[in-house]
Amino acid sequence: MSNREIVVQNLVKRYGDFTAVDGVSFHVEAGQIFGFLGPNGAGKSTTVKIMTTLALPSAGEVRVGGYDVVSQAGQVRQIAGVALQEIGLDPLMKATELLIMQGQLFGMSRQQAAARARQLLEIVRLTDAVEKRVGKYSGGMRRRLDLALALVHEPEILFLDEPTTGLDPASRRDIWQEVRRLNREMGMTIFLTTQYLEEADELADQIAIIDRGRIAAAGSPAELKARLSSDAINITFASEAAVEQARAALADMADQVQTDRRVLRLYLNRAAEAVPAVVRRLEQTGLEPQSLTLTQPTLDDVFLAVTGQRFLSEEKAA
């Protein structure tokens, strides 16, 4: 039994002159779902490859389940289940064949592996597709089979590198449901990378945001949102000129003001209580808003605040 924790300390990974991971540290507790969130090229997959023994760190220490990924790679492979971003499946084989072989390679007898394969095919709902070669699978089916392969040896720690990238919303929800079930019922520690804020918000107990190889922010989803102190009042006007006028009139009432075409955003604490004063001020200046809404900070706002760039939203990505 491992301790089911992941400890990463000052991890650095250089490729020549390029530093892909630049002093990353975090701690995943046993039984947690940990979301590693960041845009493409931020260093997520590199970190996963190091944690799963496929690549070596340039500096720093990584322990998975208490085992050092450099000197105890064999032990790490025994307790870690891995579904990489690039799904690696032999297109000429069938799901059952792949699962049975995986089980045998992990030391199961053929009978044990066959029983486990049947069980997993049911879990990932591929029982109808067992006669098809994997080359004929859809993207969602390939992801689900890849997940099943990662689970064959009942790992204590599961690594999922962008498990839902490229999936349709229904398949995505299936994977989410399965991830939650594995975590709840088996107590599996799950390390998940994602580009989707919604996914991290939905699944993760703890989140680290990685940007250009560094951890930009870390904490629970609620903590991260709370760190952005303010709620926002969003006021839409008929023209951009009106937005500029309103901005000048209201600037002193908010901690921070942003304009986005015909929308003016005022960031301030306890926005609801400030609404009457804002409306009065607008009436005094003769500006007529088309609509006024209140929003609480989203992880997207957190990301914007810590990295200075807006996150790829799920709709745009899909």
Partner 1 sequence: MAVTTMTGARPQAEATLTTPRLPLLRQIALLAGRNLMTIFRTPEAILPPVAISVFFLVIYQSTLGGAASFLPGLAGKSYLGFILPLSIISSSLAGAGIAAQNLVRDLSSGYFDKLLLTPVSRAALVLGPILAGAVILGLQASIVITVGLLLGLQPATGLPGLLAVIGLAVLLGTGFAGFTVSAALGSGSAAATQGAGFIFFPLTFLTASFVPLALLSGWLRTAAELNPITYVLEAMRSLMLTGWDGAVLLKGVAATLILATAMYALAGFALRTRTRRK
Q: Which residues are near partner 1 by CB under 8 A?
A: 1, 52-56, 72-75, 77-78, 80, 82, 84, 86-93, 97, 101-102, 104-108, 133, 149
Instruction: Select from 262, 297, 294 the least CA-distant residue to 278.
Output: 294
CB of 122 to partner 1, least distance (A): 22
Task: Report the Cα 167 to chain-centroid distance in Å.
Answer: 14
CB of 75 to partner 1, least distance (A): 5
Instruction: Select from 25, 20, 19 the least CA-distant residue to 61.
Output: 25
- Crossing angle of helices 139-151 and 169-186, rounded to 10°: 10
Q: State which residue, 72 or 234, has the beta carbon closest to partner 1.
A: 72
Q: State which residue, 143 or 265, has the beta carbon closest to partner 1.
A: 143
CB of 114 to partner 1, least distance (A): 14
CB of 133 to partner 1, least distance (A): 8
Task: Report the Cα 222 to chain-centroid distance in Å.
Answer: 15
Q: State which residue, 105 or 226, has the beta carbon closest to partner 1.
A: 105
CB of 120 to partner 1, least distance (A): 15
Q: From the CB of residue 48, how many other CB atoms can be counted at a distance below 10 Å?
A: 23
Output Rg (C-alpha) for the chain, integer angstroms. Answer: 24
Beta bridge partners of 235: 264, 292
Q: From the CB of residue 296, how many other CB atoms can be counted at a distance below 10 Å?
A: 12
Amino acid, res. 177: Q
CB of 82 to partner 1, least distance (A): 5
Q: State which residue, 78 or 245, has the beta carbon closest to partner 1.
A: 78
Q: State which residue, 17 or 252, has the beta carbon closest to partner 1.
A: 17
Q: State which residue, 86 or 185, has the beta carbon closest to partner 1.
A: 86
DSSP class of residue 12 equals: E
